Amino acid sequence: MATGCGGGGGGGGGGNPTGSTTNPVTVNGIVQLPETNAALTALRAAAADQIDYANLTIEVDGVDGTKTALQGIGSAAFRLTIQTLTRSTLQLSVRNRAGTRLLARQLEGLAQGETRQGVTVDATSTAIVGLIAANASFTARDLEAQVARPEFLTVVQAFLAFLKDQTSGSPLDHTTVQNAIQTAKAAFRPGEAEIKAAYAAMKAALENANLTDEQRLNAFMDNISPDFKDIAGTPSYEDLRTTTASRLDRYTINAYTFTPTGFTYLATDTIKVTTDTYIDVTRKPGKEGGVSGAKIPVSPTPEITWKWSATQNRWLIQQGLPYKPSEINI
């Protein structure tokens, strides 16, 4: 493991500034450093074959004043305070005295005044940071759902081997670790980013009056699994297609928006997405049925299930999209 000279890693994240210093962000957690090279006695307690964390620090990358010395044998608890949050996504780094980055963790969805509890910085969290560095479209949630897959385990194994066998440098910069990261990157898909893009495509398809109704229908249905089921679980692909075609014929669609507000992985290939949905339609002159017009948020907020399609190589809606008159009242 790296205790001498060597490079570190960078911070991450985006988001808008969230302001005020009156209610700081607090992050509480634990650092668990895996087995290290036996020659690195400076990192071992005198009485036991365990890590002495007194030689390590933890900090929030890019945030001044957060560098904190670690203490403990075997593991180390920490508490970090961020006075003014300027990004909702940040990374934590554990470094040795030479400044070499040994472990890392990405935190997402931070808010001013929040206390984030139970944060673990370890081999798994560091592998996730390495994969995010390789593809910024990944989120930590995307990758936390993949930790049992062989490709992810290979990254962790390469990381652990580096810590055990090497004496300098950062594990995230090592060739073997990077090769494993590249293999895993090719095997995984950034679910959150790709689903957001699919929602944007669905919105554009429904709202684009420059296309024919058939073109709009096909573009919309392109994001729906052939195995689509309604909310009750009944196979309903053709019913959804027929109902959507009827609405495109009947209404001018002024707005039809899908805004994801929460992602929950149900399996490595299945994501439940909490989706705020808003509809603004006006019935076309000469058309009958439905309503004369509506501007409605869909309630209750839809929980839409997306599933990875190995045959189409993309995420498709499998269940939960409200479309029936009893569900959206148009």
Concatenated DSSP letters of 155-184: HHHHHHHHHHH-SSS-GGGSHHHHHHHHHH
Residue 134 and residue 231 share a domain: no
Q: At what angle do helices 123-134 and 175-187 cross, to 10 degrees?
A: 70
In a domain, 279, yes or no: yes
- For residue 21, pLDDT over 60 is answered with no
> Are residues 201 and 166 part of one domain?
no
Does the residue 9 lie in any domain?
Answer: no
Model confidence at 25, pLDDT cuts 50, 70, 90, reads very high
Residue 97, pLDDT above cutoff 90? no
Under a CB-based contact definition with an 8 Å cutoff, are residues 30 and 77 in contact? Answer: yes
Domain end point (choices 146, 166, 187): 187
C-alpha distances out from residue 108 to 8, 79, 206, Å: 21, 17, 32
The region of weakest confidence among 5-9, 108-112, 195-199 is 5-9
Query: What is the predicted pLDDT for the residue at 74?
Result: 80
Whether 30 and 178 map to the same domain: the answer is: yes
| Residue 228 shares a structural domain with residue 285 | yes
pLDDT over threshold 80, residue 306: yes
| Residue-level pLDDT at 48 | 47
37 and 182 inside one domain: yes
Determine the structural domain holding residue 144 and report its residue range: 25-187
Of the listed ranges 31-45, 79-93, 257-271, 293-307, the least confidently predicted one is 31-45
In this predicted structure, the answer to whether residue 70 has a pLDDT above a threshold of 80 is: yes
Which domain-ending residue is among 187, 215, 234? 187
- pLDDT per residue as tens digits for the range 120-150: 999 999 999 999 999 999 999 999 999 999 9
Q: What percent of the chain has pLDDT over 90?
A: 81
Q: What is the CATH number of the domain that holds 239?
A: 3.10.450.50
Q: Does residue 322 sit within a domain?
A: yes
Domain end, chosen from 187, 206, 223, is at 187
252 pLDDT above the threshold of 80: yes
pLDDT above 60 (res 32): yes
Q: Is the pLDDT of residue 276 over 90?
A: yes
Residues 88 and 208 in one domain: no
- Asked if the model's pLDDT at residue 155 lies above 80, the reply is yes
CATH of the domain at 181: 2.60.40.1120
Do residues 109 and 173 share a domain? Answer: yes
Amino acid 220: pLDDT? 99
